[in-house]
């Protein structure tokens, strides 16, 4: 049975241990071509800075090569971290891309830094003080450029008409994992992509987005919800869990402030086994009430049938129109195979 929702991909361009960033970026192009052939709806690339695990600091630089190497699939940012940039520069860049690839470019926008505080500071042009927290104003300005509705008396009003890709326009999205992002998306009548792979307790936030959207002044628009879910498919559950171990180790180290490239499954399984043993020893020496609660992160990992069932359940909880599959796997061939199996499960 075909998918009851659109199925898409978020690629963070993972760098395997022993590989290079250049190899990871070429893998991104290769995976995009495969997903185009398989029938996925859209292919987004992420923005992360200053670490050895992910090779994608500039989605705006990757989108053009991906769109040129594919023929049908929508291509976009998941997302551009707007606090680092001038809204006008982002509008120009994505207008240019929309002009080159009409009807295929998405502009996913986020508020997070996509890195650590020191790297965030290094990204600033003016380092005399911390950058202002003015995301709502940045977002409003950017949308005014794209929609050519800058107030006539605004000093930048004429710039909106100079965007190079007109009359084409990228489709703007708001990305988030919090209530505030849902409120902004609803107030501005934007499609909303929720990062379930960061915060798996987002169904109520997605509901808030729909409620606020209905209360907004945009009667001619409708809410559109996508949910991005950590998803790994393999022929057997054992194979899928083995592949998932690499990402689990990498994120465990990230939470400790240690940045590493994506480890092999063998290294990761050994590490996770030692971690489990250490927790058992520690847990036996303290009362249960004293143990801190563990953060919950949803991972949809298994065979194609099992993954389809779980993703359908997630989509129902979010009332999502679209599911965006994201994963970090050590072996590029295994990552390709995961998306092949997922496409087959949903009969794309």
* CATH number where 212 lies: 3.20.20.30
The verdict on residue 252 lying in a domain is no
Note the pLDDT tens digit of each residue in 6-32: 999 999 999 999 999 999 999 999 999
Q: Which residues contact 211 (CB under 8 A, 6 or more apart)?
A: 186
Q: Which residues form the domain of 335? A: 6-237+299-345
The verdict on residue 251 lying in a domain is no
Is the pLDDT confidence value at 295 over 50?
no
The verdict on residue 80 lying in a domain is yes
Most confident of 77-91, 111-125, 126-140: 77-91
The verdict on residue 122 lying in a domain is yes
Q: Are 232 and 327 in contact (CB under 8 A)?
A: yes
Q: End-to-end CA distance of the chain, in Å?
A: 9
Is the pLDDT confidence value at 282 over 70?
no
The pTM of this model reads 0.93
Q: What is the pLDDT, as a whole number, of residue 220?
A: 74
Q: What is the pLDDT, as a whole number, of residue 290?
A: 46
Q: What are phi and psi of 208, to 5 degrees?
A: -60, -40
The verdict on residue 84 lying in a domain is yes
The verdict on residue 271 lying in a domain is no
Q: What is the pLDDT, as a whole number, of residue 219?
A: 64
Is the pLDDT confidence value at 171 over 60?
yes
Percent of the chain clearing pLDDT 90 (strictly above): 83
Is the pLDDT confidence value at 347 over 70?
yes
Q: Minimum mean pLDDT among 111-120, 131-140, 227-236: which range?
A: 111-120
The verdict on residue 245 lying in a domain is no
The verdict on residue 190 lying in a domain is yes
Total of domains in the chain: 1
Q: What is the pLDDT, as a whole number, of residue 182?
A: 96
pLDDT (mean) for 71-86: 96
The average confidence (pLDDT) of the chain is: 92
76: tokens are 């976009």
| Dmax (CA) of the chain | 69
Q: What is the pLDDT, as a whole number, of residue 285?
A: 52
């Amino acid at each position: 049975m075909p998918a009851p929702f659109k199925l898409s991909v978020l690629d963070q361009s993972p760098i395997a241990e022993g590989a290079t960033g250049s190899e990871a970026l070429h893998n991104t192009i290769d995976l995009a071509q495969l997903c185009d052939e398989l029938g996925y709806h859209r292919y987004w690339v992420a923005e992360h800075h200053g670490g050895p695990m992910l090779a994608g600091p500039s989605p705006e630089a990757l989108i053009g090569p991906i769109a040129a190497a594919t023929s049908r699939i929508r291509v976009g940012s998941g997302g551009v971290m707007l606090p680092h940039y001038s809204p006008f520069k982002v509008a120009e860049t994505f207008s240019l891309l929309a002009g080159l690839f009409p009807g295929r470019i998405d502009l996913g926008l986020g508020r997070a830094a996509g890195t650590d505080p020191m790297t965030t500071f290094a990204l600033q042009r003016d380092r005399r003080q911390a950058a202002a927290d003015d995301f709502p104003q940045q977002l409003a300005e950017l949308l005014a450029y794209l929609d050519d509705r800058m107030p006539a008396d605004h000093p930048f009003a004429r710039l909106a008409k100079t965007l190079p890709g007109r009359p084409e326009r990228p489709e703007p999205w708001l990305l988030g994992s919090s209530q505030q992002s849902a409120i902004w998306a609803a107030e501005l009548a934007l499609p909303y992509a929720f990062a379930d792979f960061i915060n798996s307790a987002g169904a109520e936030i997605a509901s808030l987005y729909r409620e606020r959207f209905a209360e907004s002044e945009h009667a001619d628009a409708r809410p559109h919800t996508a949910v991005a879910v950590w998803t790994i498919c393999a022929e057997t559950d054992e194979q899928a869990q083995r592949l998932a171990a690499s990402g689990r180790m990498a994120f465990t180290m990230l939470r400790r402030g240690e940045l590493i490239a994506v480890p092999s499954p063998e290294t990761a399984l050994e590490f996770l086994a030692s971690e489990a043993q250490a927790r058992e020893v520690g847990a036996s020496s303290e009362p249960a009430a004293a143990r801190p609660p563990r953060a919950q992160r949803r991972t949809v990992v298994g065979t194609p049938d099992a993954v389809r069932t779980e993703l359908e359940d997630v989509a129902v909880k979010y009332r999502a129109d679209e599911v965006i599959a994201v994963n970090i796997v050590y072996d590029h061939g295994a990552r390709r195979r995961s998306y092949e199996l997922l496409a087959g499960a949903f009969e794309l």
